[in-house]
Each structure stands twice: as structure tokens, then as C-alpha cells.
Amino acid sequence: MTSIIQTPALAMPSIRNAPEPEFLTRRVNRFYQERVQETWAGGHIMRGLQPGKDAIHLSSNDYLSLANHPRILEAAAHCLLESGNGLLMSGIFLHGDDNPLLTFEQRLARFMGAEAGILCQSGFAANTGLIQSIADASTPVYIDRMAHMSLWEGIRSAGATPRSFYHNDVDHLERQIAQYGPGVVIVDSVYSTNGSVCPLRDVVETGHRHGCVLVVDESHSLGTHGLRGEGMVASMGLGHKVHFLTASLAKAFAGRAGFITSSARFSDYFRFEANPAIFSSTLLPHEIAGLDATLDVIQTEGWRRTRLHANASYLRAALDDLGYNLNDTASQIIALESGTEQQTIILRDALEARGIFGSVFCAPATPKNRALIRLSVNCALTERELARIVDACRAIRQEVSMESWPSTRRKRASAASAALAAQPAVAA
Ligand SMILES: Cc1ncc(COP(=O)(O)O)c(C=O)c1O
């Protein structure tokens, strides 16, 4: 006779969070009081409209429009079905000549002109891990003021002292090094907030002359720059003077990973030294398979880069003509710098009402009162879509008070002083 064991009905646990101590409540309240209530007037700067079917998405960093590439998806899907999620563990345990992750690291490193490479879980993990493993409290770290937050976080976790220099100001970098001595120089090749491009040749020469270690974050140039997408440093022939390139593979590679190039000797050291490498699990097999297929596409489908740069230069020229101050962007990143967060909400709403969806950037991603909407151009934008973006930006100028933005006033002032400087000197 079979016995029927009756299980008592499972009671749903009541949902109640632990009460917060006062110091935490005070800190969280500050956000709701100062930012949500006072600055955003009860709205939310990150929560605009939901994009409709004909929306133009300019918030994704998928510059080469690879997120849905059939060959890449097939490679990742096939691997997922074959291998599942593989072994879930830290990368420190990986070894063997035919390990797909290690093989891909080598392949990507060679593509970028380096001896070895290290795959990380993200660009953030790559940058924090790298700086933590090359600097310490005695190392001066020279960092461009606009370098990505993950690099600053690396300096903080290294316990090193940041000696920042003005954005793209090589003379200031030189003066800082002369004062504090050889150290680590950190720049982005393309700056993620406004698309400005680093004067790489001069920065590298300066760092090299003073015996510094050079770190270049190529997140926004890997895949998009160079004949085969090898990035800016390799395409400019500067690889032999730059010690480390880092990159997020969540931009042109349209995946979820980060990368560091280095010497072979350094790469093994890194795996035993960098906290994100030791204490966080490594990538999954299908992610590697996807990235490997992406590298094939990036090398062979050069037309994507050609289209990307044509689209970006068309849009830059058109928006500049409309009077927007694009802050010297020379890349696929275009920022409309509206200034205050309230102005940025107005700009966001005006663009979104016309189906244009960019990314809101405000503090801590920008200095206070230099908030902006970032437009990330991609290679799949059609002529019609580009025209729609320009039409929308033309139509909204009054509605968003573009003429009175501080960035517009700066543009007018610099045009006036350039015109003055160009006038022939009148002989007395
Ligand atoms: C220049 C730069 N470096 C690093 C990162 C971090 O990359 P990830 O998103 O892969 O963590 C980003 C992305 O925001 C970036 O723009």
C-alpha cells in the first residue's frame, strides 16, 4: 500500500525589508530630495518616453550594428547548445593550449598588435584590475580629466595619487610629469562623453620621453578605427611605445567583456594580482564563441567602418551648421551639451517626441551643469534616418533654448575670437 504523505501548503513569506539605520536613510533621502525633487522636479532624468516602432536608437554603442549579425548569433547559439554554460569559476583556473578563451585572447591581442592579452568580465573590470596591478601608493598617475570612471576607480583601488591633466592638454601633462616624476599616463583614445579624440602621438611621445608607463583605453576605437578595425594605437604605429591597451567589448564588439593587451610575462602576473581577475568568475563559452565570430566580421566587413564614419561625419557637419556646440568631436560620438539637468530633460523630451532616442549623461558622468544627450552613430543608419535626426535637431532649437545654453555661448565666443585672430593686422 502506498502511503500518501501530505505536505502542508507552503505559506508565502511576508515581504518586509530590514529597517534601515538613520545614517543610510539620510544618505538615500539626499538622492530623492536633492536630485529627484529639487533638480528633476519630481520626474526622472533617465526615464523618458518608451521608444515606438519607428524610433531611431542612438543610445547603443553597437557602432558596427553587429548585435543581430546572423553569423555571430549562430556561433554563440551553437556553442551554448553544445557546451551549456561550461565551468563556472574564476579565470585563474584556466590553462591548456586549446582552451577557447586563452586561444581567443591570443588572437585578439595579435590583431591589436600586442604579444598577449587578457579577457576580463567587462571594460570596467579590465580598467580597475589593470590600474590596481600597475600602480600603488607611491606611483603618480597622470590621467586626462575626461578619462572613463573605471580608470579613476582603478587609481582609487590602487591607493595611488591621481595627478590629472586638463583634457587633451599635452603641455599640462608634461608639466605634471616634470613636477612629480615618471609614473603611469592614462588616456582614452576617443572620449566617451563627447567623442573628442586624444592627441595620441603627442601624449605617447611625452610619456615615452619621461619613462612613463602608457595606458590607452580603446573602448571607442577598437573595431571602428584602423583599416581592419585594429584600433587607433596600432593603426598609428604606436604599439611599440604603449604598454597597455584596454577596451570594453560592449561597444563595436557588441558583446559583454573587456580586454587588456600586454606582454606575455605581464598577462600571467595579472591573473594572480588583479582582484577582478582572481575574485570574479570568468566569461561563459558561448560569449567567447560570439566574440571570436565577431572578430572575423570586424576584420572582413570593412564597409561597416566606411559607412559608420560617413554617417558620423555627415551628422557632425549638419549639427555644427545648425549651431550646436559639438565640443570638437571627431568620432562617431556626438554630444548635445544642454548644460543643467533641467535643460537636459527638456532636450530629451523634445528629441523623444520626434522619435530620436539618445543617452542622457549627467553627474557623475559629466561635471555638474554640463549634462548632455549623447548620440551614438551606427553604420546601419539610413539617409532618411539621418535626415530625420537633422530635421528634429533643427526644429527643436527654440523649444530647448539652444541659443542660451552655455555650450552655445562658448561656441559663439570662440568663433568670434577666431575671426578676430584671422583679421589682417592694420599697420599704425
Ligand atoms: C571608455 C570606456 N572605458 C570603459 C568602459 C566600461 O566598459 P564596460 O561597459 O564593458 O564595463 C566604458 C563603458 O562605459 C567606456 O566608455
Q: Per-residue pLDDT tens for 271-286? A: 999 999 999 999 999 9
| 29-80 pLDDT, tens digit each | 999 998 888 888 888 899 999 999 999 999 999 999 999 999 999 999 999 9
Look at residue 1 in the predicted model and tell me its pLDDT.
47
- Answer yes or no: is pLDDT of 132 > 60: yes
Q: What is the mean pLDDT of the chain?
A: 95
Look at residue 252 in the predicted model and tell me its pLDDT.
98
Look at residue 7 in the predicted model and tell me its pLDDT.
63
Does residue 219 have its Cβ closer than 6 Å to ligand 1? Answer: yes
User: How far from 342 is each of 40, 368, 373, CA to CA, in Å?
Assistant: 6, 12, 12
Tell me: cis bond preceding 364? Omega within 30 of 0 counts.
yes
Dihedral angle of Cα 169, 171, 176, 178, to the nearest 10 degrees:
160
User: How far from 358 is each of 56, 217, 377, 386, CA to CA, in Å?
Assistant: 9, 23, 10, 14
Q: What mean pLDDT comes out for the span 186-204?
A: 98
Which atom of ligand 1 is least distant from the CA of 125? 11
Ligand 1, pocket-test mutation among 124, 216, 260, most atoms within 8 A of CB: 124
Buried b (16+ CB within 10 A) or exposed e, 42-52: eeebeebeeee
Ligand 1 centre to CA of 130 (Å) is 14
Q: What mean pLDDT comes out for the span 149-160?
A: 97
Does residue 148 have its Cβ closer than 6 Å to ligand 1? Answer: yes
Does residue 150 have its Cβ closer than 6 Å to ligand 1? Answer: yes
- Answer yes or no: is pLDDT of 9 > 90: no
Q: What mean pLDDT comes out for the span 395-413?
A: 97
Which residue is listed with cell 566580421? 297
Does residue 123 have its Cβ closer than 6 Å to ligand 1? Answer: yes
pTM of the full structure: 0.94
CA distance 335 to 358: 9
| 275-315 pLDDT, tens digit each | 999 999 999 999 999 999 999 999 999 999 999 999 999 99
Look at residue 3 in the predicted model and tell me its pLDDT.
54
Ligand 1 centre to CA of 161 (Å) is 22
| 316-356 pLDDT, tens digit each | 999 999 999 999 899 999 999 999 999 999 999 999 999 99
Q: Comparing 10-14, 58-62, 235-239, which segment has the lowest mean pLDDT?
A: 10-14
- Answer yes or no: is pLDDT of 125 > 50: yes
